[in-house]
Amino acid sequence: MKVAIVIPVYNHEQRIVEVIRQALKLVLPLIVVDDGSTDRTPELIGNIQGISVIRHPVNMGKGAALLTGFAAAVEQGCDWAITMDGDGQHRPEDARTLLQAVADGRRVIVVGRREGMVGKNVPWTSRFGRGFSNFWVWAAGGPLISDSQSGFRLYPLPEALHLGVKARRYQFEVEVLVRARRRGIETIEAPIQVVYQTRGERVSHFQPWLDFRRNSATFSRLIWERIFGASRK
């Protein structure tokens, strides 16, 4: 296995330096995709040695940033990509748990199942969103898993680049699971830890109502494809 770490970043100046510092301890190629940040993120990550930085001139969405990172990883000769968020929610050392899940050589997607999604610092939108997403991923023909919104994942490359995913924002991470299953690529889960900072410290670009509408549109499209695609066949 040759594995790269891909971190999509958008206005994460508060946390990104520490996230990268911890990720570098894994001693793996590290690709940071700056998705059009307008804060000090470009300046901060530009001074870090030992990483590859790719910058989108404007914000294109998390899914677009992930695809850019996957393509760069393939160009570097990697056949797997570990993705983690730049907000400090994930513990980079848990990447080893994801890698252990494919020690038998399986070409699957490994989703980090977040443990400890309780407590006063965990927003209700995260708990509700996870349950909502889990059901509709399954209803759209995807895998039945317990944390379909986790961004800490292991993807096989180049397969993940060629699934025909249309969503380019957060919805990429649910659509890719559905598309993968349709192509015969299994999704499994592995337990990881999660860190939720207090409300004033937490960096989140999740917009509940806007992203709810986007999620609904994505799931509607996938379910439509499932029903009428099967009918045509």
- Alpha carbon of residue 140 to chain centroid: 19
Helix, strand, or coil (residue 99)? helix
Evaluate if residue 17 carries a pLDDT over 50: yes
pTM of the predicted structure, to 2 decimals: 0.89
Spatial separation of the C-alpha atoms in residues 106 and 100, rounded to whole Å:
11
49 vs 6, 52, 100, 143, 225, CA distance in Å?
16, 9, 28, 39, 45
Helix, strand, or coil (residue 9)? strand
Helix axes 172-182, 208-232, angle to 10 degrees: 20
Evaluate if residue 39 carries a pLDDT over 70: yes
Evaluate if residue 199 carries a pLDDT over 70: no
Summarised one tens digit per residue, pLDDT across range 151-162 is 999 999 999 999
Q: What is the mean pLDDT of residues 169-173?
A: 95
70 vs 21, 59, 66, 73, 153, CA distance in Å?
21, 17, 6, 5, 12
Domains, the chain, with CATH or none:
3-232 (3.90.550.10)
Evaluate if residue 214 carries a pLDDT over 60: yes
Evaluate if residue 126 carries a pLDDT over 80: no
Q: Specify the range with the lowest mean pLDDT, choosing from 74-88, 166-180, 201-215.
A: 201-215
- Alpha carbon of residue 219 to chain centroid: 17
